[in-house]
Amino acid sequence: MKRSEINAALRWAMTLLEENKIKLPPFGYWTMSEWVSGEHDIKTIKEVMLGWDITDYGKDRFVELGAVLFTLRNGSLSDASVGTPYAEKLIILKEGQRLPIHHHASKTEDIINRAGGMLAIKLYNRLEDGDVDYITDVVVDLDGMRCTVKAGEELLIKPGHSITLRPFMYHLFWAKDGYGDLICGEVSSINDDMTDNYNAEDVSRFSTVIEDEAILHPLCNEYKRVLEVHT
């Protein structure tokens, strides 16, 4: 992605959050000068990758396949004294935009429709060889109620409603057309985006950034690279 595309997505997401009266922690608004000022202890923020996360999954089709995410809280799988014993994110999607079909091996997550449009999701079990099981029914919890759904059945998660995604459950979700842009919440066990994303599509978790304008806010996967340059 071009930095200009990332910056435009940041501005759009921040406006949508403001319109829905959703506030971020202080570091969500820091300029680059604030990040490198030395006034703040950002060790934990960097270590557990809190903050902005914008990706087109390496496909250069951001409006179709991509997301703006913001990690509010997270912890460390190797050191319980770092961060929190759980993770919380915002997932902000343009109408029609989707994430790739994927599963996690260790993370259990609740995906909550926080505001805006309609969350659509399809679920699949995982075969022993790791592939997607397009045949068998899936058992899932919707707002704490156990349900059985058909593989690939479209589920609609209304504002305020949620779905619990357990390890090895493939999921594909998007902001359904006709309902507007969408803000989702994710509350989960500790999140590790470097090792616990298993995609059924040929995608990469983070984008390669082409620097065509100044950084508005650094992304969580580039702290080491861009903050050292600006120090």
For residues 84 and 187, what is the distance between their CA atoms, to the nearest angstrom? 12
Taking 3-state DSSP, the helix, strand and coil percentages for the chain, each rounded to the nearest 5, stand at 15, 35, 50
Give phi and psi for 91, each to the nearest 5. -120, 115
Q: What is the pLDDT of residue 210?
A: 95
Q: What is the pLDDT of residue 229?
A: 66
Q: What is the pLDDT of residue 52?
A: 98
- If the chain, 231 residues long, is cut into consecutive pieces of 10 residues, what is the mean pLDDT of each piece? 97 98 97 92 96 96 97 96 97 98 97 97 97 98 97 98 98 98 98 94 94 96 83 49
Residue in the block written with tokens 């809190």: 50
Nearest to 91 by CA among 230, 188, 177, 212: 188
For residues 150 and 130, what is the distance between their CA atoms, to the nearest angstrom? 19
The answer, as to whether pTM is greater than 0.85, is: yes
Q: What is the pLDDT of residue 74?
A: 98
Q: What is the pLDDT of residue 209?
A: 95
